[in-house]
Amino acid sequence: MTGVRVAGVGLTHFGKHPERTGRDLFGEAADRAFADAGVDRSAVEGLNYGNFMGELAEHQGHQGPLMAEAAGVTAPATRYESACASSGTALREAVKDVRNGEADVVLVGGAERMNNLGTAGTTEALAIAADDLYEVRAGMTFPAAYALMARAYFEAYGGSREDLAEIAVKNHDNALENEYAQFQRAISVEEALDAPMVADPLGLYDACPITDGASAVVLVSDEYADDHGLEAPVAVTGTGQGGDKMALQDRQYLARTPAAERAAAEAYDDAGVGPADVAAAEVHDCFTIAEVLALEALDFYAPGEAIGAAARGETTRDGDRPVNLSGGLKAKGHPVGATGTSQVVEMTRLLRGDHPNSDAVDGDVGVTHNAGGTVASTTVHVLEVTE
Amino acid sequence: MTDDTRVRDEGFDDFLDAVEAGEGFYLECPDGHGSLPPRQVCPHCGAGDLGETPLAETGEIETYTTVHVAAPEFDDDTPYVTAVVDFGGVRLTGQLRDAAPEDVAVGAEVTPDVARTETTGERILVFR
Ligand SMILES: [Zn+2]
């Protein structure tokens, strides 16, 4: 089985770009990934593309061939939809294709256009990641779902809004030097606590923003990288995926995320590493509480222990294991279908040394954690510097 | 769109009808796993032999939130309390009615009912 290397990565700016179409955004991210990879786009044998709500935001289905055109590739293209984990899932399938010898070069990415819908429209659109009959029709919004999980967590293990605010402050700090981030702006705990409530205990600063953007990664086999003299020091060495019941009410746990636990265990096993080997992580902090749940699922902390990690300085830039050095979904932004691959873009740059926060990474192993809905689906990937 | 124009969702609307009539139920497989209709098989173990078990008269609030920013269909309903309530065999998600947000607590006993939303007049599962 061949290894899978990250030959090149590309992002658009993440932010408010309501007038830019999904195809325009993805075309830019893919172009940057090809330039970074030094791979000719004619070598691409498949496009795996993640997008969540294109039917609602752009009245556009069947986005695979559209995005292949946008990227200037003629290879067959498939869209993956797994809510906020869409492009993490697209990436996992691409890793399998390269390992299986099905393809030597795969373009993976995702895009989402959201701001053209406005806040109410986006709230409505995001809700389709939940169970329509038993959650959405009961008035459960996406922030409400995470608020229900946050209160369940506080009930089970303790924790406070201050603990959550520390996570938001950390991720905003991390985004200060990230030119792709939506918010390159520091915030304070007081500002976060004083912000308007969205769904208590979660306020505006506990939530990721509404973001337009795209991400792309060129994956190649070891053989292709060697034969073409590519400089591709980072490899995807582990992949895992986990699932759970769709509706929060049907889950065994309201304050734990077994789908992510299973994805992490599989990815660690696949890579032959353990949580103690991980130097940095990019995790799916769509809400501050989601970062807590992610760190516990990744087995960096036992259940109930990660709530104070940011406040204790363990996951900050200077901590033992920095988390979301990109700024995370919270400060970098969350163009839903683009997020999974954007985490791999950031981690690749963090590990190979050309990210503004690379100096905070003390080691060669990073993980990315991409969760869909209220963590009914999750992918986890292990990235390592292997040359 | 209100219920009067929406095509019924078999199973789900039957469930709401039953709750509204005070005859709420859930589906139970031979191994005792609970689920909500419509189901061909038990989502937990795949068993096909599902029977209807009466829903407990009251359930316990397991977690809740006060929603301040809602989707357009619930615009005029805000702020409202969404709760997940444990009825033993199943949990249900719905809006808490007839209670001030500051009086809501985890562990409080509530009864299920069906009401209409302020914004669109759609039927909605509620707890009182
Ligand atoms: Zn069963």
pLDDT tens by residue, A123-166: 899 999 999 999 999 999 999 999 999 999 999 999 999 999 99
Does B4 reside within a domain? no
* pLDDT 10s digits, A349-378: 999 999 999 999 999 999 999 999 999 999
Find, among A325, A333, A336, the residue nearest to A367 by Cα: A325
pLDDT value of position A44: 98
Domain assignment present for B3: no
Above pLDDT 70, what percent of chain A?
100
CB contact under 8 A, A199 and B80: no
Q: Is residue B53 part of a domain?
A: yes
Q: Which of A139, A148, A199 sits opposite B124 (nearest CB)?
A: A139
> What pLDDT does residue B1 have?
45
Predicted interface score ipTM higher than 0.90:
yes
pLDDT of amino acid B4:
63
C-alpha distance from A93 to closest chain B C-alpha (Å): 26
**Which residue among A334, A355, A369, A381 is the active-site one?**
A334
User: Using CA atoms, how far apart are residues A298 and A285, in angstroms rounded to an integer?
Assistant: 13
- For residue A294, what pLDDT is reported? 98
Domain extent for A361: 4-118+209-385
**Window 27-86 of B, Cβ < 8 Å to A:** 35-36, 43, 62-75, 77, 80, 82, 84
Which CB contacts under 8 angstroms, 24+ apart, belong to A159-164? A159/A292, A159/A307, A159/A308, A161/A193, A161/A201, A161/A203, A162/A189, A162/A193, A162/A311, A163/A307, A163/A308, A163/A310, A163/A311, A164/A192, A164/A201, A164/A202, A164/A206, A164/A288, A164/A289, A164/A292, A164/A307
**Is the residue at A170 inside a domain?**
no
Residue A142 lies in a domain: no
* A92 in any annotated domain: yes
- The answer to whether A276 and A136 are in contact (CB under 8 A) is no
- Quick check: A17 pLDDT over 70? yes
pTM here? Answer: 0.97
Q: Is residue B5 part of a domain?
A: no
What is the 8-class DSSP label of residue B7?
P
Share of chain A above pLDDT 90, in %: 98
Average pLDDT value for residue range A304-317: 98
Does residue A198 belong to any structural domain of this protein? no
Q: Is A165 inside a domain boundary?
A: no
| B10 contact A CB<8A | no
Provide the shortest C-alpha distance from residue A20 to chain B (in Å): 24
Domain at A299, CATH number: 3.40.47.10
User: Which residue from B minimizes the CA distance to A123?
Assistant: B71
Q: Which of A200, A208, A254 to mutate to test the interface with B (most CBs of B within 10 A)?
A: A200
pLDDT tens digits for range A1-13: 899 999 999 999 9
Residue A313, helix vs strand vs coil? coil
Instruction: Tell me the CA–centroid distance for residue A20 and ligand 1, in Å.
Output: 48
How confident is the model over A110-134, as pLDDT tens digits? 999 999 999 989 989 999 999 999 9
pLDDT at B103: 80
- Report yes or no on A61 lying in a domain: yes
The number of folded domains in chain B is 1
A62: annotated active-site residue: no
- The domain of B91 spans 12-127
Tell me, what's the pLDDT at A277? Answer: 98
Could you report the average pLDDT of every consecutive run of 10 residues in chain B (128 residues)? 75 98 98 98 97 97 96 94 97 92 89 97 96
Q: Which of A166, A256, A152 is nearest to A206 (CA)?
A: A166
- Give the pLDDT of residue B102: 75
Number of domains in chain A: 1
